[in-house]
Amino acid sequence: MRTKPASVIAIYPGSFDPITNGHLDLIERGSALFDKLIVAILRNEEKQALFSVEERTEMLNEVVRCFPNVAVASFDGLLVDYAADRGASVLLRGIRAVSDYEYELQMALMNRRLRPEIETVFLMAGEAHSFISSRLVKEVIGLGGNISGLVPPFVEGRLRKRLLGEPSY
Ligand code: PNS
């Protein structure tokens, strides 16, 4: 029989390239559910990212400052091994739409097969955030569209600088 650990540590993994208000919503809700939440950025050299892991870490640190039980880290290798190393018993993931479900189910079942003692917990994205993705935000701002309210304001500034060459403010 499994018992509840004295302190429940959850890992919220992802690319976060860059963080959106959808991620932030999940971080806020996750921080209220678990004793400690580690937002873990995947270090994946193969995936072409707009921001380096260091830049993404800096942006995440900026937005999680107000949550005392949230930390930012990065990892490579298997997520479940990283979670076990950090003493975590939960993987936190968000689901926006049915289209997310298949991929998330596959990952959750594979992760359970690898380490059954680690549970994946899904939170449904808030309705205001269910259409936001880092990929779409980058595409829209790169084509001159308005993304205000979809990412934290200073992240919008970083995006404008990187994609449109605007000076930082
Ligand atoms: O936000 P993303 O990019 O959809 O996050 C994907 C992530 C980081 C959760 C996934 O790619 C992952 O866990 N990668 C680590 C390698 C691993 O454990 N792969 C097996 C997953 S079943």
DSSP three-state, residue 36: strand
For 117-146, write each residue's pLDDT tens digit: 999 999 999 889 999 999 999 999 999 999
pLDDT digits (tens, 9 = 90+) for 101-121: 999 999 999 999 999 999 999
Distance of CA 138 to the CA centre of its chain: 16
Q: What is the mean pLDDT of the chain?
A: 95
Q: Which residue has the tokens 């569209």?
A: 145
pLDDT tens readout for residues 18-60:
999 999 999 999 999 999 999 999 998 777 999 999 999 999 9
**Cα four-point dihedral sign 85, 120, 30, 49:** positive
Report the amino acid identity of residue 39.
Answer: V
Q: What percent of the chain has pLDDT over 90?
A: 90
Task: Compute, in angstroms, the gap from residue 82 CA to the centroid of ligand 1.
Answer: 11
18 upstream amide cis, omega within 30 of 0: yes
| Contact indicator for 12, 39 with CB cutoff of 8 Å | yes
pLDDT beyond 80 at 169: no
Query: Does the predicted model carry a pTM greater than 0.85?
Result: yes
10 Å Cβ neighbour count for 36? 18
Tokens of 110: 């594979």
| pLDDT greater than 70 at residue 168 | no
Asked whether the beta carbons of 91 and 121 are under 8 A apart, the reply is yes
- List alpha helices for the chain, DSSP H: 21-33, 53-64, 79-85, 98-114, 134-142, 153-164
Assess whether 29 carries a catalytic annotation. Answer: no
Of 96, 129, 138, 158, which is the active-site residue? 96
The one catalytic residue in 56, 134, 138, 158 is 134
Q: CA-CA-CA-CA torsion for 71, 95, 152, 160, nearest 10 degrees? A: 110
Ligand 1 mean position, distance from CA 69 (Å): 23
What pLDDT does residue 162 have?
95
